[in-house]
Chain A
Amino acid sequence: MTDQAVEREVGRSRLRKEDARLITGQTNWTDNIQVAGLLHLAILRSPMAHARIERIDVSPALERPGVVAAFSGADLAEGLGSLPCAWPVTEDIVLPDHPPVAVDEVRYAGDPVAVVVARDRYAAADALEAIEVDYDPLPPVLDLEAALAEDAPLVHADKGTNRCYTWPLATGESFESVRQRAEVIVKRRYHQQRLIPNAMEPRAVVVTPLAASGEYTVYSSTQIPHILRIMLSVVTGVPEHKLRVIAPDVGGGFGSKLQVYGEEALALAVARRIGRPVKWTESRSEGYLATHHGRGMIQDVEVAATREGRLLGLKVDLIADMGAYLMLVTPGIPILGAFMYPAIYKMDAYDFTCTGVFTTRTPTDAYRGAGRPEATFAIERIMDELAVELGLDPVEVRRRNWIRHEEFPYTSVAGLTYDTGNYEAATEKALALFGYDDLRAEQHKRNERGDPVRLGIGVSTYTEMCGLAPSRVLRDLRYAAGGWEAASIRMLPTGKVEVVTGTSPHGQSHVTCWSQIAADVLGVPFEDVEVLHGDTKAAPQGMDTYGSRSLVVGGSAVHRAAEKVVEKARKVAAHLLEASAQDLEFTGGVFSVKGSPEARKSIQEVAFETFSSHDLPDGMEPTINAEHLVDPENFSYPHGTHLCAVEVDTETGRTSIRSYVCVDDVGRVVNPMIVEGQVHGGLAQGIAQALYEEAVYDDEGNLVSGTMADYLVPSAADLPDFVTDRTETPAASNPLGVKGVGEAGTIASTPAVVNAVVDALRPLGVHDVRMPCTPERVWRAVRSATAGEEASP
C-alpha cells in the first residue's frame, strides 16, 4: 500500500456515528431507563424567594394513593451532607451550608423543601399538593449593589454578610500610573443578564440499589460522571468503590450539567433509605427554577489609551451574582473570565477585581463560555466606545492594539502565554467575506437620508482559554481537582478497536471524532472503531467534558494511547516477521519490512496474534492495549473575528440580523462539519443573549420568565444564514494542533450583535442598549436620545 492510497480521517467531514440513535431517539436517555419496581420522586419547591420554614408536615402526602414515602429536609438531613463547592476561590471565601433539601430556611424560589416517593410520576406530583408548609417570609435579596450595603437583609444570616468573596488580580504596571499618562479614558458599565441554559434534554436521574452488596448505580443526565461519583460519595457517605455512575446519552448541557445537583444526591439517599430504585425527571418549568443559571454580573470597565489609540491599561470591577448557594464551580466562573478581559490586545496595566454576592435567586454556575463571554463582551464593547472617542474605525482601533502574528508566543498582561495565533489573517478574511466597505457605504447613505430602518455594523474579535486545564494552574487558582484526561485503547481479537475515553459527550460528537483520530494513528477503518464513554465502570478514569477541553486534552490522550498501541504492536510484528523493530515501516495499518514489502502484518492481524499469544516475543506482556493520560502543558487559545450587520427599525425597535460572518481559528480541524455545527449553535446562543433571553425576576424574587413562553429561545426561523469560515493556525501545546470549538461562537457573537445595534443607533445619539436588546428597550433608547434626554437604556 502506498501513502497516496491512505486517506486521512482527520480533516474529513464524516457523518456522525451518533446521528442514527440521537436523531431517531432510539437511545438511552436517562428518562427512558426502566427497571423493575422503579419508584418516582417528585420535589416540593419553595414558592417564595426567602422565608423561614415555620412548620412542615409531609404526613398528609402519605395518605395519597400510590405514595410510598415522603421526606422533609430534616428527615433527610442524616446521611446527606452539604452539596459541594469545588472552587473556593479565596482563602476567606464565605461557604454557606447547602442542604439538598432545605431544613429551616428557603433561599430562592425553587429551593427544595420536601420529597415524595410514589409508584408513578403522576401520583408523586399529586401528592406534593398534600404537603403542609408554613412559611414566614423574609426579605428577598435581589439587587447586587444593595446586597453589599451595611444594613442589607442577609441571604445567610449566620454569615453576617452577602459578600461571598473579593478576588483581585493586578498585573503589569499599576493602573493608576497609566491612567496618569493616558490621553483618553473611557469608562462604562455593562450588565450581563442572567440566562437559563435550556439543554434540549431536561435533567433526570435514576438510582438502582443492590442492597445485598451495598452497591448503587446512578444514571444521570450529566456532563461529569467521574466527578459526580466522587462528590456523591462525599455527600452521601456511600463509599466511592460501591458507586457506579453512568451518563447515558445526554441531550445537551451547555455547562448546566457540569454540576453535582441536590436531586442526584437525594435520589441516591432515598434509594438507599428505602432500598428501591428511584427516578426523578425534571420538567422544563421546574428546570427553570432548579437548574443553575448563567451570567448575572455588573461590569465596570475602564480603559486608558493614547490619542493614537494605543491601549495603556484596563481596569475591571465586577459584581457577580452567585445566587443563593455556591454550587460546584459557582465562585470560579468570573475568575475564568478574569484572564480574558485583556483579550487579544497588548497593554501595560491590568487591574481586575471581582466581588461575588449572594442573592435569593437560583444559584449561578457555568454556562457556555463561563466567564469568557462576559469578559469578551466587556472589552469588545468598550473598544467600540474607544474607537468613537478617537474617531477611529472600530476595526482599526483593534488592529492598532492586537498582538501581531510574529509576536507569538506572547504572554498577555494577565499572565497567559498565548502559543499561536494570527488575528490579522482571520480579520482580513472576515472583512472580505462580509463586504465591510460596501456595508459602511450603505450605512452612510441610509444615515444621510434619515432612513427609519438603520443599518448597524458590529465587529468582535476574541480569544479564549480552552482545553481546561494544566493541573498546576488549577491548583494556583484553588480549584480542587486537576485537569488531565485519560484514554485507553483496546485491540479486540477480531481486529476491531475500542477507544475508552474519560470525556463525557453530550452532543459534541466524541464518538465520531475519536474514531477519526484513532483510525488515523492505527491505520484501521473508521467503521472498525467504537468509543466507550460516560460510565465509570467502562471508562473508570476521566475528568469529563466542559470548557472546550475534550478534543484538546481527551483527543490528545486518544492520539497518544494509539501511538503506544502501534509501538507495542510493532514489537509483535517484528517478532512475527523475524525482523528488527527499527526495520519495520507502518503505513495504512500495515507493518512491512523495509526493502521486502511482501513481508507484512496488519495491526489487526497483530491484535489476533496477541490475543492467541502463541508466538509473542519472550517476556512480553500479552497485550498491545495501551492507556495514556495527558496533563496539558498550557491552555489552548482559539481566536477569530466576527462581523454582524443588523437592521434596526427605529419605529418599532426591532433588530433584524441581515448578515453574519465569522472566521474562527480553532487550530487543526478533525471534522469540519462538526466544527461548523458547533459554531452555528454557539452563534445562536450568543445572539440569544444579545437580543432575546433574560431570566426576569419580580420585586419579590419570583422568576417571571418561568416558561418558554416568556423566556425566548430563538429558533432557526429567527436567525440568519451564517457565513462561517476558518483560518488554521495549529496549537503548539498538543500533538493534534487543536484548540477547541465548543464555546467560540457564544463568546464572540454577543458583542458583535450589540456593537451592531449600537452602531446603527449612534447617529441618533444612542451609545448603549442593555441586553437583551429587546424592541421596547431599543425604542425607548431611541426615543430618549432623539428627545434630547440622557439615554436611559
Chain B
Amino acid sequence: MIPPAFDYARPESVEEAVRALAQAGEEAKVLAGGQSLLPLLRLRLAFPELVVDVGRIPQLRGVREDGDSLVIGAMTTHHDVIRDPLVRRHAGLLAQATATVADPAVRHRGTLGGSLAHADPAGDLPAVVLALDAELVAAGPAGRRTIPAREFFLDYLQSALSPDELLVEVRVPKTDGWSFHYEKFHRVAQAWAIVGVAALVRRENGQIVEARVGLTNMGATPLRAAAAEQALTGAGDPQAVARAAEAAAEGTRPAQDVSASPEYRGHLARVLTRRAVLTATGMG
C-alpha cells in the first residue's frame, strides 16, 4: 500500500528530537528502524502528521558497561545487539532472543528501542527485558526518567512513554551466573511468536533459587509468569520443573487470532516454560 502524507524530521541530537516530538503533540511517531511503523503506515493503520527519524543520532547507538548493568542505546540494531561482546557475556538471554527476531533484513534495520517502544506483546524483546528486570530510560522536555520494565508496558501497543518522550536507553542488569533460554514457537522463520518464553534461573547446589519467566504473546502486554516463577523456586529435577511449569499460563488472557486459540496458547505456555527452564539448566 501507499502511506498517507506526513512531515519528516531527522534530528541530530536527543534534545532536538524531544523538541520535535513536543511540538507535534499526539501527532508524531518516532521512526526507530521502521520495521513495525512502515507496515502500519503502508496499511494506513497509522496516520502521523510527523515522523521523527532518530536514526542519525550517534549517542543512541552502542553498548557500554555501567557497574552492574549494561546500557544499550535505544537505536542499537538487533544485529549489533546479537554481536556485541558485552551483551553476549552479561546478558546472554537478550542476545539469544534477539537472534530469533524475524529475518536478517529486519535484524539489520530494526532496533532494540524501537521494538520495546512499539510494545507489541507478540514481539520477542518486551518479554525478554521484562524477565531481565531491565529499566528503560526516557528523555522528555523535563529531562530523563527511568521506568522499570514492569511499569513500561501498559496495554496492547501502548507503553508508558508520553508523546513527547523518546526512549533513549535500556539498562539491563548483568545476569552473570544465571542460566537462560528463550523458547520461541512460531510457524515459519520470519513469523511472530505464537507464544515465546524467556526463562532466567539462578541455581545453588542444583536447585533453582530464583526464576524469572517472561511470556511473549500471552496477553495484551508481555507478562511475567509469576505463579510458575514461584513454583520453580526449589525445583531440583525435571519432574519438579514440569510440575512448576503447569502454572505458566495462570492469570494470562491470550488472544484468539488466525494462528492460534487462547486454549492452545495456554497449553504452549506450559510446555514451552518447561522446555525453556530445562534447556536453560541443562536438566532436560
Q: Which residues of A contact B (CB under 8 A)?
A: 42, 121-122, 124-126, 283, 285-286, 651-652, 654, 692, 696, 704-705, 707, 709-710, 712-715, 717-718, 774-776, 779-780
Q: A125-B4, A710-B258 are in contact. List 5 more A-B contacts (CB 8 A).
A: A652-B185, A704-B258, A709-B191, A712-B187, A713-B188
Name which of A286, A712, A713 has the most chain B CB atoms within 10 A of its CB: A712
Q: Which residue of A lies closest to B189 (CB)?
A: A717
Q: Shortest Cβ distance from B271 into chain A, in angstroms? A: 5
Q: Which residue of A lies closest to B192 (CB)?
A: A709
Q: Shortest Cβ distance from B42 into chain A, in angstroms? A: 8
Q: Which residue of A lies closest to B268 (CB)?
A: A652
Are B187's CB and A122's CB within 8 A? no
Are A776's CB and B261's CB within 8 A? yes
Are A285's CB and B43's CB within 8 A? yes
Q: Which residue of A lies closest to B274 (CB)?
A: A651
- In the assembled complex, the Cα of A780 lies from the Cα of B268 at a distance in Å of 12
Residues of B within 8 A of A780 (CB): 264
Are A779's CB and B187's CB within 8 A? no
The answer to whether the Cβ of B162 comes within 8 Å of any Cβ in the partner chain is no
Q: Shortest Cβ distance from A792 into chain B, in angstroms? A: 14
- In the assembled complex, the Cα of A121 lies from the Cα of B189 at a distance in Å of 33
Residues of B within 8 A of A122 (CB): 2-3, 5
Are A696's CB and B258's CB within 8 A? yes
The answer to whether the Cβ of B142 comes within 8 Å of any Cβ in the partner chain is no
Residues of A within 8 A of B272 (CB): 652
Are B43's CB and A692's CB within 8 A? no
- In the assembled complex, the Cα of A285 lies from the Cα of B45 at a distance in Å of 13
Residues of A within 8 A of B260 (CB): 776
Name which of B257, B258, B259 has the most chain A CB atoms within 10 A of its CB: B258
Are A718's CB and B5's CB within 8 A? no
- In the assembled complex, the Cα of A779 lies from the Cα of B261 at a distance in Å of 12
Q: Which of B3, B188, B268 contacts A714 (CB 8 A)?
A: B188
Residues of B within 8 A of A652 (CB): 185, 268, 271-272
Are A715's CB and B188's CB within 8 A? yes
Q: Which residue of B lies closest to A717 (CB)?
A: B189
Residues of A within 8 A of B261 (CB): 776
Q: Shortest Cβ distance from A499 into chain B, in angstroms? A: 38
The answer to whether the Cβ of B190 comes within 8 Å of any Cβ in the partner chain is yes
- In the assembled complex, the Cα of A75 lies from the Cα of B261 at a distance in Å of 46
Residues of B within 8 A of A285 (CB): 1, 43
Are A705's CB and B258's CB within 8 A? yes
Residues of A within 8 A of B5 (CB): 122, 126
Q: Shortest Cβ distance from B106 into chain A, in angstroms? A: 12
Are B188's CB and A692's CB within 8 A? yes
- In the assembled complex, the Cα of A122 lies from the Cα of B4 at a distance in Å of 7
Residues of B within 8 A of A714 (CB): 188
Residues of A within 8 A of B194 (CB): 775
Q: Which residue of B lies closest to A649 (CB)?
A: B271
The answer to whether the Cβ of B267 comes within 8 Å of any Cβ in the partner chain is yes
Residues of A within 8 A of B103 (CB): 715, 717
Are B271's CB and A286's CB within 8 A? no
- In the assembled complex, the Cα of A775 lies from the Cα of B195 at a distance in Å of 12
Interface size class of B (residues with CB under 8 A): 20 to 34
Q: Which residue of B lies closest to A776 (CB)?
A: B264
- In the assembled complex, the Cα of A715 lies from the Cα of B103 at a distance in Å of 10
0/1 string, B190-220, CB within 8 A of A gives 1: 1110100000000000000000000000000
Q: Can you show 13 pairs from A to B with CB atoms below 8 A apart?
A: A121-B2, A124-B2, A283-B1, A651-B271, A692-B187, A692-B188, A709-B39, A714-B188, A715-B188, A717-B189, A717-B190, A776-B259, A776-B261
Q: Which residue of B lies closest to A711 (CB)?
A: B258
- In the assembled complex, the Cα of A634 lies from the Cα of B107 at a distance in Å of 52
Which residues of B from 251 to 267 have beta carbons under 8 Å from A?
Answer: 257-261, 264, 267
- In the assembled complex, the Cα of A779 lies from the Cα of B194 at a distance in Å of 14
Residues of B within 8 A of A712 (CB): 187-188, 191
Are A286's CB and B1's CB within 8 A? yes
- In the assembled complex, the Cα of A651 lies from the Cα of B1 at a distance in Å of 39
- In the assembled complex, the Cα of A696 lies from the Cα of B190 at a distance in Å of 20
0/1 string, B232-260, CB within 8 A of A gives 1: 00000000000000000000000001111
Q: Shortest Cβ distance from A288 into chain B, in angstroms? A: 11
- In the assembled complex, the Cα of A710 lies from the Cα of B43 at a distance in Å of 14
- In the assembled complex, the Cα of A121 lies from the Cα of B2 at a distance in Å of 8
Name which of B2, B271, B272 has the most chain A CB atoms within 10 A of its CB: B2
Q: Shortest Cβ distance from B156 into chain A, in angstroms? A: 16
Residues of A within 8 A of B39 (CB): 707, 709
Residues of B within 8 A of A692 (CB): 187-188
Q: Which of B4, B43, B185, B189 contacts A715 (CB 8 A)?
A: B189
Residues of B within 8 A of A717 (CB): 103, 188-190
Are A126's CB and B264's CB within 8 A? no
Q: Which residue of A lies closest to B271 (CB)?
A: A651
Residues of B within 8 A of A125 (CB): 1-2, 4
Residues of A within 8 A of B185 (CB): 652, 654, 775
- In the assembled complex, the Cα of A75 lies from the Cα of B10 at a distance in Å of 45
Q: Shortest Cβ distance from B251 into chain A, in angstroms? A: 22
Residues of B within 8 A of A283 (CB): 1-2, 42
- In the assembled complex, the Cα of A718 lies from the Cα of B191 at a distance in Å of 11
- In the assembled complex, the Cα of A418 lies from the Cα of B248 at a distance in Å of 59
- In the assembled complex, the Cα of A446 lies from the Cα of B258 at a distance in Å of 33
Given contacts A122-B5, A125-B2, contact A775 B258 (CB under 8 A): no
- In the assembled complex, the Cα of A367 lies from the Cα of B185 at a distance in Å of 30
Q: Shortest Cβ distance from A253 into chain B, in angstroms? A: 22
Are B4's CB and A718's CB within 8 A? no
- In the assembled complex, the Cα of A712 lies from the Cα of B188 at a distance in Å of 7
Residues of A within 8 A of B1 (CB): 125, 283, 285-286
Name which of B39, B188, B267, B268 has the most chain A CB atoms within 10 A of its CB: B188
0/1 string, B67-93, CB within 8 A of A gives 1: 000000000000000000000000000
Q: Shortest Cβ distance from A714 into chain B, in angstroms? A: 5
Q: Which residue of B lies closest to A653 (CB)?
A: B264
- In the assembled complex, the Cα of A776 lies from the Cα of B260 at a distance in Å of 7
Q: Shortest Cβ distance from A462 into chain B, in angstroms? A: 26
Q: Shortest Cβ distance from B108 into chain A, in angstroms? A: 16
Q: Shortest Cβ distance from A696 into chain B, in angstroms? A: 5
Residues of B within 8 A of A696 (CB): 258
- In the assembled complex, the Cα of A718 lies from the Cα of B187 at a distance in Å of 9
Residues of B within 8 A of A651 (CB): 271
- In the assembled complex, the Cα of A89 lies from the Cα of B259 at a distance in Å of 37
Residues of B within 8 A of A126 (CB): 2, 4-5
Residues of B within 8 A of A286 (CB): 1
- In the assembled complex, the Cα of A776 lies from the Cα of B194 at a distance in Å of 10
Residues of B within 8 A of A707 (CB): 39, 43
Residues of B within 8 A of A704 (CB): 258
Residues of B within 8 A of A121 (CB): 2
Which residues of B from 15 to 39 have beta carbons under 8 Å from A?
Answer: 39
- In the assembled complex, the Cα of A283 lies from the Cα of B44 at a distance in Å of 13
Q: Shortest Cβ distance from B276 into chain A, in angstroms? A: 13
Residues of A within 8 A of B257 (CB): 710
- In the assembled complex, the Cα of A775 lies from the Cα of B191 at a distance in Å of 14
Residues of A within 8 A of B259 (CB): 710, 774, 776
Q: Which residue of A lies closest to B194 (CB)?
A: A775
- In the assembled complex, the Cα of A125 lies from the Cα of B267 at a distance in Å of 43
Q: Shortest Cβ distance from A386 into chain B, in angstroms? A: 31
Q: Shortest Cβ distance from B181 into chain A, in angstroms? A: 16
- In the assembled complex, the Cα of A56 lies from the Cα of B271 at a distance in Å of 53
Q: Which residue of B lies closest to A40 (CB)?
A: B2
Q: Which residue of A lies closest to B270 (CB)?
A: A651
Residues of A within 8 A of B189 (CB): 715, 717-718
- In the assembled complex, the Cα of A707 lies from the Cα of B191 at a distance in Å of 12
Residues of A within 8 A of B42 (CB): 283
